[in-house]
Amino acid sequence: MFTKVLVANRGEIAVRVIRACRELGLNTVAVYSEVDRNSMHVRQSDEAYLLGPPAAKDSYLRGDKIIEIAKKAGAGAIHPGYGFLAERDDFAEAVQEAGLVFIGPKPSAIAAMGDKAAARATVAAAGIPVIPGTDGDAILTDEDLIALAPDIGYPLVVKASAGGGGRGMREVKVPDELPGLLQAARREAEAAFGDGNVYLEKLLLDARHIEFQIMADSHGNAIHLGERECSLQRRHQKLLEEAPSPIMDDTLREQMGKLACRVAEAVDYVNAGTVEFLVDGDRNFYFLEMNTRLQVEHPITEMVTGIDIVREQIRIARGRKLNYRQEDLQLNGWAIECRINAEDPYNNFLPSTGQITTVIPPSGPGVRVDTGVYAGFTITPYYDSLISKLICWGETRGVAILRMRRALEEYRILGVRTNIPFHQKLLNSPRFMAGQFDTRFVEERFTMEEEFDGDDNLAMIAAVMATLVTHRETQQAAQIVRQSERDTSNWKWVGRWERMQR
């Protein structure tokens, strides 16, 4: 049984895994790139090894080097976090071949779910509804796809078989666009994943993205931990998640949860995973994909179930039985997560880099902040822009929203721009408050533009503050001028003094 875990990741998720290890009494080994020497995960681990230059391909994607370090350090297991090597079946395989434990599913399950077209086929065969689209995992040519498209119907989506993160994806509104967009999608998929295969899926309008957290042990037990509502996205990047979903009821939850477990069983799944569904306006749901790893937004499920998912992951990897049975689980209250990214919501969400000069995190009842940064740490352009996850819990959705609002207002991060104002605006939007939104809400119905109201009292306050700061800066500049005048005269004095000394 392993007692030392190598954490093959960085940022908040590496810190999250290290915390879970510590609380289990396990030693931790961190790996880091040249720009991450002073990262929280390096500081908090028991050992740390340099991987290489900043670019991920030279550091956090160097599976070979990571396995070598694990062996050298005597780590018995590797936790991949999310991203980087988390869903690479070849890496999971290599870890096992090196005699180490991969804290995650078997390589075969990662592979089965990694090819999105193959996963559709597997899941459909197990009797799970999938979004209407091209069937099976055969490789289809452009002509095949163009021929199949009318059966699926428009609008539809071209998706990369090896896809993820929205890359190699194109929406097609009318048949004429299809040939051109197929080629564009293939090019992008080839560039991103080294695999140009694509498939077609019907485009669901007014759909919600709802996912189920599942956990399965190596003794044949699989349970689900309820759903997460992840419809609030921008360019296929989730921004705000909540658990439970405002549209869920017990019946639908039980039905979808059971199917999620069946999806997991279909690929002999072990450890934590997430089954994603699209749910349309008539509450029909369709399997979208399965993420065979820990999810960024896992904390909201932790808040409403009381289960430490990362600890359970490690326990399962150690061969233990699940600590919980499905009937023991009870959802308690409501949790919301806001992803705090280093990006400028007022400038097209452009990433922002630089040294963080101040962090004053919110706290108090029901507030959790998962982060890997601190005042003095530098955000570099090499990795994703997530700097912190702000999670708020309340007895009801209303309480959780109010608490999140006050937490966002309290949060101070200086040195880089953040999307906190985006979240503040989102949480104030009537549609969000009413729970009425779908996956297109942020992009199509939401704007950071202010409708400026003439007798807006806050505008006057802003004007006063801007003026006071300008006034101060002018005064200080004047002082500096005076200062340098004095300096000059000092120098003159020195000159005179020196002349006297001759």
Please identify every residue annotated as catalytic.
293
360 lies in the binding site for a copy of itself (CB under 8 A): yes
DSSP H or E segment with residue 4: strand 4-7
Handedness of CA 234, 366, 385, 22 (dihedral sign): negative
| Number of residues lying near a copy of itself (CB under 8 A) | 44
107-114 vs 89-97: helix crossing angle, rounded to 10: 170
Q: What does the per-residue mask of binding to a copy of itself show for 440-479, with x meaning CB under 8 A?
A: ----------------------------------------
Binding status of residue 328 toward a copy of itself by CB under 8 A: no
Q: Does 44 participate in binding a copy of itself (rule CB under 8 A)?
A: yes
Enumerate residues 6+ apart whose C-beta is below 8 A from 368. Answer: 299, 303, 390, 391, 392, 393
Residue with smaller CB distance to other proteins, 69 or 263:
69
Least gap, CB of 65 to other proteins (angstroms) = 14
How is residue 240 annotated by DSSP? E
d(CA 248, CA 226): 10
CB-CB contact of 302 with 296 (8 Å): no
Place of tokens 């990006």: 343
Q: Which of 25, 127, 194, 454 binds a copy of itself (CB under 8 A)?
A: 25
410 alpha carbon, distance to own chain's centre: 22
Cβ-based nearer residue to other proteins, 194 or 454: 454
Q: Which is nearer to a copy of itself, 87 or 302 (CB)?
A: 302
Closest residue by Cα to residue 215 from 75, 311, 151 = 311
For residue 326, CA distances in Å to 169, 224, 441 come to 36, 7, 33
In this chain, which of 9, 305, 371, 439 binds a copy of itself, going by CB under 8 A?
371
Per partner kind, with CB cut-offs from 5 to 8 A, the member of other proteins, a copy of itself, none near residue 237 is other proteins
**Which of the choices other proteins, a copy of itself, none does residue 395 contact, using the CB cut-off of 5 to 8 A by kind?**
a copy of itself
Rounded to whole angstroms, how far apart are CA atoms 84 and 86?
Answer: 6
CB closer to a copy of itself out of 22 and 236:
22
Site string for a copy of itself, 280-319 (x = CB under 8 A): -------------------x--x---x-x-----------
Looking at beta carbons only, is 73 or 317 nearer to other proteins? 73
Report how far residue 312's alpha carbon sits from residue 3's, in angstroms, rounded to the nearest whole number: 15
Please give the helix or strand (H or E) that residue 242 lies within, else none: strand 237-243
Establish if 320 lies at the interface with a copy of itself (CB under 8 A).
no
Q: Which of 393, 463, 53 is nearest to 244 (CA)?
A: 393
Q: Is residue 358 involved in binding a copy of itself (CB under 8 A)?
A: yes
Q: Which residues of the shown chain bind a copy of itself in the complex (CB under 8 A)?
A: 15-16, 19, 22-25, 44, 299, 302, 306, 308, 332-333, 358, 360-361, 363-371, 374-376, 395, 399, 402-403, 405-406, 410, 491-492, 494-499
